[in-house]
Structure 1
Amino acid sequence: MQDITTHRVGDATVTKIFEIGLDAVDGEFLFPGIDPDSIARERGGFGPGSVDPRTGSLRLSIHSWLVRTPGRVILIDTATGNDKERPGAAVLHHLNEPFLDRLRAAGVGPGDVDLVLMTHLHADHVGWNTHLVDGHWVPAFPNARYVFSGRERAYLAALSAGDGSDAAIRDAARLGPMLHPPLAGVYEDSVLPIVEAGLVREIVIDGSEVVDGFRFVRSPGHSIDHACISLTSRGERALFWGDVMHHPLQVARPDWNSVYCEFPEAARRSRRWAMDHAAETGSLVFTTHFAESSAGRISRDGDRFAWHFV
């Protein structure tokens, strides 16, 4: 188990709840089509917490962020979950991780969570929405309201139905060409059960305040309606940026999409926006897949950006 580290943003405290580390990710797999020499040059600027110095493999993390405000207990994204059927992504298949025990170690039980805010509905961001009880997927946080994009939910439902209605949703999104659909099975085991339990609040991503200083800000491309989630408290700012990036070397190369980005053109635009926003606002950035502390700040020098772990 990783050490529990808490960051403060105004009246809020933010704690990483670790699920799994990915310590041997091939850069050529993560960034398909990118010249290996270019990957080698960029990874040379990072220490052993982000790049294995012996093999050159990239280190990533999968985790959630626990945010406590004076009136709320909030989870942002819920990692992968245990027992999920993910044969198309072996590293996520049938996990057995003590995620809920780690949450309890941070002082929060599943019943204490008021809100679950989701940047998007990919497998490694919604998995702990549910857990397996007597052969059935049931909400893991039974007292929480789960908040996410209605377009994301509709898209997964359309793909699950297999009736071709997903094409109309893509056309309406106007994100450019689609490279691939999201991983199958996620809607059925991690989204539909919380919908059927009446725990969902679907929203339109328009930048308006959702609750207590939290706003969902459009950053589509990695998924059809991906959102970054901003927090403002007592004049301090944070940005939970989901999957606009997977590894800090993309800060230097925002033109590099990950293998998981569904709409490549839009993903590049959103990545640039996220860095511009973080630099201009001085936001403390909480990532979902950077290793080490997984939190940091963006600085800017002309057209170049740099990442600084905190």
Structure 2
Amino acid sequence: MDSPSATSSATSAARWTVGDLTVHRIDEVPLPPPTGAWLLPEASPETVSQVPWLRPDFADDAGALRLASHSFAFSVDGLRVLVDTGIGNGKNRANPAWNQLNSDYLTRLRDAGFAPESVDLVILTHLHTDHVGWNTRADGGTWQPTFPRARYVTARAEWDHWAGADMDAARREMFRDSVHPVRDAGLLHLVDAPAEGTDIAPGVRLLPTPGHTPGHLSVQLRSRTAGALITGDAIHHPVQLPHPGLTSCVDIDPGQAAATRRRLLASLADTDTLVLGSHFPAPTGGRVTSQSGAYRLAPVR
């Protein structure tokens, strides 16, 4: 996702067990009620009301979608891994609610056992404002990498797209304060992700899920016989399970995004794979089950 607003409080911490892995949700902020109508304009209150299992966790009684901003963190094979870095603090943003944000994200990250200096790998599902913000933090008058020992990894296709794009002023500023300092520090690593994905660490695979952006990645975890998938913005909200054709107003290629989502949901349906939504509010995690020719999310709390 790449706008609009966020509020200043967050939900309580959560974690899930995936084989030998423990995946922590690192909360930043819940997103305000107007976000859903802006982000998924075809998810009208009438459409939402026809999916009763969305309430009360994923939608309110009026049919407004609930969304949140958070990261996921886990340790694997001695590596401490963070997936996406949220909106970030103290940054000039065109969106008023994201502008000069002041959240307790870093405190929550430390409380989960992931001090910034201990993180080895930061996976960026894509280069949108609300997924790269904590890449950097203010140090005097400059922006410095928040995770100075980490490799920041994203898809080469993602970088190549934005490197050639005619960006507006707000996006250029985001790259200047949250992406370029990481590149300039030699910490940005670009990976090629073929259709079957590429392994970035033992049991951690980057899967290309294009459409929202050209180089968008989802993150597949495997430990012993258990598996999980961190969606990124391939699935913004559980309403897209019964209605996978619902696209986001910020999808670069809506048709491809819908096709990717259908393919992804078909591969997940009726399996034991835990799905962790990058913008799903609590309970955030669940399993995809088939229902009446479509899909629903069975929460795992």
Q: TM-score over 0.5 for the alignment?
A: yes
Query: Once the 2 structures are TM-superposed, how far is the Cα of residue 27 of structure 1 from its aligned partner?
Result: 4.5
Paired with 1:198 and 1:146, the residues of 2 have a C-alpha distance of 9
RMSD: 2.1
Change (3 A) 1:271 1:198: same
Return closer, same or farther for 1:129/1:83 CA change in 2, 3 Å cut-off: same
Q: Letter of the aligned partner of 1:76 in structure 2?
A: V
Unmatched tracts of structure 2, length 5 or more:
1-9
Distance 1:222 1:161, change over 3 A: closer
Q: Percent identity?
A: 36
Tell me which of 202, 215, 229 is aligned to 1:212. Answer: 202
* Secondary structure of the structure 1 residue equivalent to 2:241: helix
Q: Which amino acid aligns with 2:184?
A: E
Instruction: Give the TM-score of the pair, scaled to structure 1.
Output: 0.87
Q: Corresponding residue for 1:19? A: 28
CA 1:189–1:254 in structure 2 vs 1: closer, same or farther (change >3 Å)? same
2:12 equivalent in structure 1: 3
Amino acid in structure 2 at the alignment position of 1:31:
L
| Paired residue type of 1:257 | T
* Residue 81 of structure 1 pairs with residue 88 of structure 2: yes
CA 1:182/1:266 → structure 2, altered by over 3 Å: closer, same or farther?
farther
- Going from structure 1 to structure 2, the CA distance change for 1:130 and 1:287 (only over 3 Å counts) comes to same
SS in 1 for 2:33: strand
Letter of the 1:235 counterpart: T
The residue identity in structure 1 corresponding to 2:247 is: N
**Which residue number corresponds to residue 40 of structure 2?**
31
Question: TM-score by structure 2 length?
Answer: 0.89
1:109 Cα offset (Å): 0.7
Give the structure 2 partner of residue 132 of structure 1: 138
Aligned length: 289
User: Aligned partners of 1:227, 1:15: CA distance in 2, in Å?
Assistant: 19
Alignment of 1:259 onto 2:249: yes
Q: 1:267 to 1:19 in 2, by over 3 A?
A: same
Residue identity opposite 2:182 in structure 1: I
Written as runs of structure 1 = structure 2, the 5 A alignment for 1:1-310 is: 2-25=11-34, 27-33=36-42, 37-42=46-51, 44-53=52-61, 55-87=62-94, 89-159=95-165, 183-206=171-194, 207-279=197-269, 281-301=271-291, 303-310=293-300
Amino acid at match of 2:238: P
2:4 corresponds in structure 1 to none
String of CA shifts for 1:31-58, please: whole Å, max 9, x gaps: 225665334434x4322222222x4322
Is the alpha carbon distance of 1:309 and 1:183 closer, same or farther for their aligned partners in structure 2, counting shifts above 3 Å? farther
**2-structure distance, mates of 1:190, 1:22:** 20
Give CA deviations for 1:206-240 in whole Å, capped at 9, x if unaligned. 21212111111111001111111111111211111
Q: Which runs of 5+ in 1 are unaligned?
A: 163-180
- Asked if the contact 2:46/2:63 (under 8 Å) is kept, the reply is no
